Amino acid sequence: MLFRTCAFFVCLLALTGICAEQNWPEPKAPAVPEADGYVVIPNAAVAPARNFNYRVIFDSTRMASAPAKILPGVNAAGGVVNDLVVGGVPQGMQKMAIVFHGAALDGILDDAHYRQKYGIANPNLPALEKLKGRGVELFVCGQNLASDHIDPKTLSPLVRVASDAFLVMIEYQNRGYSAMWF
């Protein structure tokens, strides 16, 4: 019995070492380098499909963990764009939007107002420019702006004011967009 237990643990340690030594390629982030990259997984059960129409709406409500980092919603959207680009999905098959509200509003401040608040350049703006350039629609909740008395002129001009984040989410989900929350 002791021999089998020892043999089991030796095999387990050997497998752990093999798994730890897996040489994964570096993630690729060709479209939005500020966001997470994509690693091609050989023989993946679900992988980017070139003939699939990807429709996603990102509900961005959380601020980044530090002012020098990008918003989780921006990172997620950029990461999905990187996934699809690396996977060879044509841009015409990628339909995405992000709606910002709550704590995420600070991440869409224009550079001057972000610097005033945090003392550094807004790290989200380069990623937002790239996302917008790839056709990702960017919205901010007008109800949130009104209730917090935020002047829309303090925000990045890349983002359009919608009447309400909830209406954006409802409309896009009814158009067949999958919802993701960050």
Q: What is the pLDDT of residue 99?
A: 98
Return the CATH class of domain 54-181.
alpha beta
Cα-based distances in Å from 140 to 31, 125, 164? 23, 14, 8
Q: What is the pLDDT of residue 20?
A: 52
Percentage of residues in the chain having pLDDT higher than 70? 88
Given pLDDT bands bounded at 50, 70 and 90, which one contains residue 22? confident
Length of the chain: 182
Region of residue 135 (left: phi > 0; alpha: psi -120 to 50; beta: else): left
Main-chain dihedrals φ then ψ at residue 177, nearest 5 degrees: -80, 135
- Of 158, 57, 74, 61, whose CA–CA distance to 104 is shortest? 61
Cα-based distances in Å from 65 to 103, 104, 130? 11, 11, 22
Over 70: is that where the pLDDT of 7 sits? no
71 contacts 59 by C-beta, under 8 angstroms: no
Name the residue with higher pLDDT: 5 or 150: 150
Rounded distance, CA 67 to CA 127, Å? 15
Q: What is the pLDDT of residue 9?
A: 40
Q: What is the pLDDT of residue 130?
A: 98
Name the residue with higher pLDDT: 3 or 94: 94
